[in-house]
Amino acid sequence: MNWDQMQGKWMQVKGAAREKWAKLTEDDLELIAGNRDKFAGRLQERYGIAKEDAERQLDEWSKSVPERHS
């Protein structure tokens, strides 16, 4: 799923994000609202990882989100 789709369907896919990254709070997910840059920033903050690692994880995850969520 691309990031435009992700933003449009955020309410449906944020549960999948929470399953993968349990340290993200509900407030984090509301703030992210499908925005890739905000998502990467929150992953960096919560998991103490580099920007490149956060972006790589997001790219891999976005490819694995089932189309049934779209």
- Per-residue pLDDT of 13-43, as tens digits, reads 999 999 999 999 999 999 999 999 999 999 9
| pLDDT at residue 68, rounded to an integer | 60
> Does the pLDDT value for residue 69 go beyond 70?
no
Q: Judge contact between 69 and 16, C-beta under 8 A.
A: yes
Percent of the chain with pLDDT over 70: 94
Indicate the burial class of 17 (C-beta count within 10 angstroms; 0-12, 13-18, 19 or more). Answer: buried
Six token digits for residue 63: 């490819």
Q: What top-level class would CATH report for the domain 3-69?
A: mainly alpha
For the entire predicted model, the pTM comes to 0.89
